[in-house]
Amino acid sequence: MKCISFFGEVYIRIWTLVESCILFGLQVNDLAGVSKDMTLQSLIELDIKDDCVKVAGSHSRNLLRVKRGLDMVRVLFEGLMDSE
């Protein structure tokens, strides 16, 4: 029974990680598609004008999440480099 419980936990953790990676990829893909037509400033101004800055899936929210994700990866690698 311990074995099944252990593998269940591992499965849930791996699935959560895969799901996060897919979501991050979708947000980056969304921003890449928009960046062909708009500048960063115009993207943010449009979301402010349309009052959708805090709406899930808005371009400015995706931009913020991608920035936070990249910052997290940077801090993680800096910590790994400092520990060596």
**Stated pTM of the model:** 0.66
Residue 84 confidence (pLDDT): 65
Residue 1 confidence (pLDDT): 62
Q: Going residue by residue through the chain (84 aa), what tens digit of pLDDT does each one get?
A: 667 777 778 778 888 878 888 888 888 888 888 888 888 888 889 899 999 988 888 888 888 888 888 888 888 888 888 876
What's the CA gap between 56 and 47, in Å, rounded?
12
Domain that holds residue 50: 2-83
Q: Token digits for 6?
A: 């252990």
**Residue that is written with structure tokens 């979708």 in the block:** 26
Count how many domains the chain has.
1
CB-CB contact of 48 with 58 (8 Å)? no
Residue 50 confidence (pLDDT): 92
